[in-house]
Amino acid sequence: MGQRREDRAEHHRDQGHRRPGRPGFRRRRAAHRGRNRGRAGSRPAGRGPDPVPHHRVLPPRRRQGRSGLADLAHARQRPGPADAQARYGMSRVLHRVSVEGPTGRLSVLRTADDRPGVPLVLLHPINSAAVVWEDVAARLDRPVVAPDLRGHGNSGRTGPFTVEDGYVPDVLAVLDALGLDEAHLAGGSLGGTIGVALAALHPRRVRSVATFGSTLGTGVPAEAIAAMVRELEAAGTAGYFAGQVPEIVGREHRDSARVREVMAEAVGTRPTSVVAEILCGAFGADIRHLAGKVATAGIPVLAVAGTEDPTCPPAMSRELAEATGGAAKELDGTGHLPMLEETGQVADLLRDHLARAEGNS
């Protein structure tokens, strides 16, 4: 997540430490600062770089003073992905490959090392990308596969952008291309819906399903979806989601630099026409007719929801769990992006769920 407040305070305190062999240095530097206090824009010599974290020096958002996703996407090179991984204590464990999908190229992140166990396929929420799962994958000890679904990330942008006719065939194509006969599935938001649908339609390929902030169907009326599209077209892709992200995460995570940086990369700058089709397909989706097949197949399902998720609140996860014969769980203070908000808890939940599923098989 973002750089912690106490870490920043410690960084500020370190700026004034006494150098060995330089008695009185702090006093001389204070006097030097006094001489420069009245000079606008000047900085005392020898202070070094400004201690303010990098995300604070980007062009500020006009709304609530936050940096927009477009600003952060443009500034990914300050610092680069490897630097970000080091800063947040992660090692980059996923490497990108490409496979041929039903309608074009599918870009996939996967673990490159030889890890034991049944693979876990991580499916991202719509209008994000596989990178949202990187921090969770770094905490797991089994093979991980995370595709960019069609219309997202580095994958092709040809529809349809629907669950049964679009995204489920994408995931099957990834499994086939990588030679995976079966896998555990975990997904955020519509990614979880896709996982449930795939388990219902192809139960022999799925060992278990875990959903995070998912639903069998939102029930959002057509006029509300049309209003979303109009707002998207007016603001542009990056601008639209710059406003959306702080509103869908939990209150404790709205100022997280990590959430903003990863979502900036995940959202990208895709054409609004593609994003509009994706929104219509996602909010118009309903897989209630498939849920009972998962229960019949006896596939273990864990449905997790954040108590502060405004998009898919806990009641939707409870419905999903009941319809699939699964279990429901809530994460206190978490919103719609638990894989970024509470990475450690999500990894722990997945580890326990997969162990139980494999123990019962």
17/26 Cα distance (integer angstroms): 8
31/14 Cα distance (integer angstroms): 18
For residue 282, give both structure tokens: 């996602």
Which residues belong to CATH 3.40.50.1820 in the chain?
69-360
Q: Residues of the chain with pLDDT > 70: what percent? A: 74
Tell me the chain's radius of gyration from C-alpha atoms: 23
- Helix, strand, or coil (residue 292): helix
The pLDDT value given to residue 6? 39
Please say whether the structural domain 69-360 has been given the CATH code 3.40.50.12780.
no
280: which residues sit within 8 A by CB, 6+ positions away? Answer: 161, 225, 229
Give the relative orientation of helices 272-283 and 222-235 as an angle to the nearest 10 degrees.
160
Query: By CB neighbour count within 10 A (0-12 exposed, 13-18 middle, 19+ buried), where does 278 fall?
Result: buried
The pLDDT value given to residue 361? 57
| pTM of structure | 0.77
- How does pLDDT run across 108-144, given as a tens digit for each residue? 999 987 889 999 999 999 999 999 999 999 999 999 9
Cβ contact 110:94 at 8 Å: yes
- How does pLDDT run across 30-62, given as a tens digit for each residue? 443 444 444 333 333 333 333 323 222 222 233
195: nearest Cα among 228, 159, 168: 168
The pLDDT value given to residue 114? 81
86: which residues sit within 8 A by CB, 6+ positions away? Answer: none
For residue 195, give both structure tokens: 């996982």
Strand order in the sheet with 104-111: 94-101, 104-111, 144-147, 120-123, 183-188, 206-212, 301-306, 327-331
57: which residues sit within 8 A by CB, 6+ positions away? Answer: 50
The pLDDT value given to residue 92? 57
What are the residue ranges in the chain where pLDDT is below 70? 1-92, 360-361
322/227 Cα distance (integer angstroms): 32
The pLDDT value given to residue 191? 98
